[in-house]
Structure 1
Amino acid sequence: MLSEHKGSLISIASIPLIMTLGNSMLIPVLPAIRHQLQITSFQVSLLITVYSAVAILLIPIAGYLSDRFGRKKIIIPSLLITGIGGLISGLGAWWLAHPYSVILIGRALQGVGAAGAFPIVLPLVGDIFKKESDVSKSLGVVETANTLGKVLSPILGSLLAYVIWFLPFLTIPLLCVISTLLVAFLVKTPAKQDKQAKKVTFGNFIQQLKLIFKQNGRWLLGIFAIGCICMFVIFGTLFYLSDTLEEKYHIDGIWKGFVIAIPSAALCLASFLIGRKIGQNKSLMKWITFSGIVLVTGSIVWTGLLKDPSIYWLITLISLAGIGIGVTLPCLDALITEGIAKEERGTITSIYSSMRFIGVAVGPPLASVLVKSSAHLMFYCISGTCVLAALLALFAIKPTRDEGHAS
């Protein structure tokens, strides 16, 4: 029952919330950081990319280590490392005349911590809850916490930067300490999972990985790619929106944070509602995923076709894309977590998280490059990836009739 593990679920949900805040809080203040440091748009986008690039490399290792030694033993040190990275970035910005390199180092260290925190959340949920319906609902809460972070990030980031531009960096250590204490004292992992973890050797890890992809490669790779594309769309469009609100519509500061929060709020609400409804029906998950991606594609294409969109049209269409992604993400999480055996979840969900981080890493710098040629070109390129995601949802994810599992 969910009520029996309420404290654990709240503590677990704090991890994606804080990891998202640690990255997405910077989106609305990137123009201010660029101005303060006197750097290019591409250079400032690397503050997002370096975080994600480091995480991409380390997430599979963290997944293996969580299978080998247990989830909490990886999550807790990772949260502390994330906090230290934020502290280095914040103090570097505060104390140094030319802090860009030090900020990048701190962001890279945050990426190391992120690799062992959020990706381990999905298998941890699968370990704690026995019923698949409870797993789906819990994953919906986790994904909602993730998207809630995206809602709060632009508002909180803008408020903190209004005080002083580097304050968002210094807020991360405090948030990480809070999450660490919650996980340490409230999350109770099953004793059986801890015993199983000790049996996982590196040789077993490689053999399991080969076997998993031999049996489930098609639908797993499809979900990996869709998750990557969803993150690419989110971070690419929000990066574009952050710059456009200041340069074209002259909206900055706290008000810009509230405007950017609108598409994120739409995404968050959609994730919450779908997470409560999908249950164990994997066929339903497939068609919701496909429909969500179609909605994203249509919204992004429409945005690209508009010659000179008003602020209202721009926010409406990006919010519709947010709803499409919001209904898609909980389905992907559930398909991954419920379609893989418990002892293998850490490995597979870590690879899935790596793919999502690739989308996060690529989105801002690619958007900064494409928008120099044309905003229309940027939207058409993004919509092209969405078409690919829709085709993957339609043909790669095929639940069986009898078992309801993706195959």
Structure 2
Amino acid sequence: MDNKYKKMLAAFASVPFLMVLGNSMLIPEFPKIKSALNINQFQVGLLITLFSASAGIAIPFLGYLSDRIGRKKIVIPSLILYGFGGLIAGLAAIFLGEKAYKVILVSRVIQGIGGAGTAPIIMALVGDIFTSNQRSEALGIIESANGLGKILSPILGAAIALISWYALFFSYAFLAIPITAAIWFLAEEPEDNIKQQSINEYLGNIKEIFKKRGVSLLFSLLGGMVVLFLLFGVLSYLSDILETRYNVKGLIKGLVIAIPISFMSTTSYFTGVYLKNKGKYFKHALALGLTINAIILTLLPFIRNLYLYISILSLLGVGSGLILPSVNTLVTSSAPSEERGGITSLYGSVRFIGVAFGPPTFSLLNRISERVMFFGGAGIGIISAGLIFTFLDEKKIISAEDNGQGSNSEGSKSTR
């Protein structure tokens, strides 16, 4: 990969880094936000739910537009909208005080719509530019940037909240500026990457992709949804018990939460490199990762020592790091470039669904008991692993490259 494409990939990686801050930076600071706005746990949780739900709804539509008018024309305005939503929330907190809650909810919907047109579309653009072997490595880097955002987000959130809790929202607007500029100046979209087609033709092409790769593609999407469902469910619970059970707060709390996520980020990178070299074993990595996560969830309710708890929980990061680059490659390889935006956007919606439902589901199950919560999550993980290993045929998906359905752009050729 020459220097030009390394710079481009660095610009692409900055986008999921920013997007993951949208939820992950707020979660550790929920107690401060609840106190400042005089709201309860359910209401503060809506800050995550509305962001993720609006993103999940908007993603398929923006994916269609990105196939029709180009990726950059969607990503850049979406980044601006994302930053604008953060600016609205910050200003509302300053001028409205406790009455700012409803305005902040609206701003989170705006941010979610902006987020919908960023990271999922960037994933499609990476799929357009890089061919199958380089694509695994490139997507591993993208997922590592996502993981790095998760690592730094609790630490950044705790540090920024030392200024004020609403400074978190202003930080979204501030960070969006250089990242927008980087995409504007460094990203080069393949010239043959736009396909003029009606919505009916577009949906027909997506339907045809599912006809050819339906079961395998569906179980790939399932893997992406389940891993984030489990991850965010556990992280939301961890954020709570660090304070209530272990009295760990502030920057120390952020550092502790960052430990398992750092394992995920590191594993994502090396998994991407390994899969790039092998060009196979995607479903094996998926099933293994979900199995590891299920085993970890089964062990956690029996552990009370903080150091051992975090050590075991770090293996959940390893499992997640095996899964995400595998799913990313399978999804982006399942369609030709002119329909890739739709497929990756659908994948983005599925990911957001996992993020949106993980914390409330874990919270609901925890009302029954901690063991029900963890065993329930473990059951979902092991059942998903079995289904994926049994029914996912990665050759049907990866063969899209061999059949000439992948990107034929000049950029792709240069990275072979």
> Which TM-score applies when normalising by structure 1?
0.94
The answer for the alignment partner of 1:312 in structure 2 is 307
Structure 1 residue 45: Cα displacement:
1.4
Q: For the Cα contact (< 8 Å) 2:141–2:272, is it kept in 1?
A: yes
Residue-by-residue CA offset, 1:144-183 (whole Å, 9 max, x unaligned):
1011100000100011112211211110001111111000
Residue-by-residue CA offset, 1:311-347 (whole Å, 9 max, x unaligned):
1222122211111001110011011112322221111
SS at match of 1:278: helix
**What pairs up with 1:244-263 in 2 under 5 angstroms?**
244-263=241-260
Structure 1 residue 234: Cα displacement:
1.3
Residue type of the alignment partner of 2:373: M
The answer for the alignment partner of 1:357 in structure 2 is 352
**What pairs up with 1:8-407 in 2 under 5 angstroms?**
8-97=8-97, 98-129=99-130, 131-193=131-193, 197-279=194-276, 281=278, 283-304=280-301, 306=302, 309-400=304-395
Distance 1:160 1:402, change over 3 A: closer
Stretches of structure 1 that go unaligned for 5 or more consecutive residues are none
Q: For the Cα contact (< 8 Å) 1:87–1:170, is it kept in 2?
A: yes
Structure 2 Cα separation of the partners of residues 316 and 157 of structure 1: 23
Q: For the Cα contact (< 8 Å) 1:33–1:165, is it kept in 2?
A: yes
Aligned residues: CA RMSD: 1.7
Structure 1 residue 201: Cα displacement:
2.3
Residue type of the alignment partner of 2:181: L
Residue type of the alignment partner of 1:128: I
Structure 1 residue 404: Cα displacement:
5.8
Structure 1 residue 185: Cα displacement:
0.5
Stretches of structure 2 that go unaligned for 5 or more consecutive residues are 402-416
Q: For the Cα contact (< 8 Å) 2:221–2:331, is it kept in 1?
A: no
Residue-by-residue CA offset, 1:337-380 (whole Å, 9 max, x unaligned):
12322221111111111000001101122223222332222112
Choose 11-20 or 132-141, whichever is displaced more. Answer: 132-141
Q: For the Cα contact (< 8 Å) 2:216–2:394, is it kept in 1?
A: no
Structure 1 Cα separation of the partners of residues 267 and 230 of structure 2: 16
> Which TM-score applies when normalising by structure 2?
0.92
Residue type of the alignment partner of 2:54: V
Choose 71-80 or 388-397, whichever is displaced more. Answer: 388-397
Structure 1 residue 396: Cα displacement:
2.4
Q: For the Cα contact (< 8 Å) 2:133–2:279, is it kept in 1?
A: no
Residue-by-residue CA offset, 1:13-33 (whole Å, 9 max, x unaligned):
111000011221011111221
Residue type of the alignment partner of 2:94: W
SS at match of 2:359: helix
